[in-house]
Amino acid sequence: MDKPVRTSESGFFVAGYEVRTSQRAEADPQTAKIPALWEKIERGELELLIPKRLAKGKPFVVYYNHQDPPHGPYSVLLGYQVIGSDDVPPGLSGLNVPAGRYLMFTALGPRPGSVAQAWHFIQSYFEQPGAPRRAYTFDYEVHENSQRVSIFVAIR
């Protein structure tokens, strides 16, 4: 995996499905919640509910509301970028992701394996001496296509 790129990103709004989970829960197929959200995305259910998608309709995954990072529970919102809260249909969640400083990593190859591998690399990257400190505010993935995912990790 290539060295990450420092970047400052503008804020944006995402509408979609939300769950509360943890690394431990996601490591076990019996308790993992995120794959079920992806199944809904892949079936096109969310596209029908959110007709005004931005960012060329690319799926976003936002990780936030971390409790006792890095191993404690966190919230995940899987959805699409929209203009604002008025574009969040009933029954879905909306989230304002504020502007911030990030390191951008790129996962290349078929999902979900490439993304899981990238997150393992990211975890070890931040454990290195001299690495920037993670902010544990809002981290997010932009699924550019089936072979490329941009991962933005908030830094202090």
Is residue 140 within 8 Å of 93, Cβ to Cβ?
no
Q: Vertex 35, ends 2 and 136: CA angle to 5°?
A: 55
Does residue 23 carry a pLDDT above 80? yes
| Number of structural domains in the chain | 1
- Cα separation values, 41 from 36, 44, 80, 135, Å: 9, 5, 10, 28
Look up the pTM and report it.
0.94
Report which of 10, 13, 6, 35 is spatially closest to residue 79, judged by C-alpha positions: 13
> Domain of 111: which CATH number?
3.20.80.10
pLDDT average, residue stretch 112-127:
93
Q: Band of the pLDDT at 25, cuts 50, 70, 90?
A: very high
**What range defines the domain where residue 96 resides?**
5-154
| Dihedral (Cα; 110, 115, 62, 55), 10-degree rounding | -40
- What integer pLDDT is reported at residue 45 of this predicted model? 87
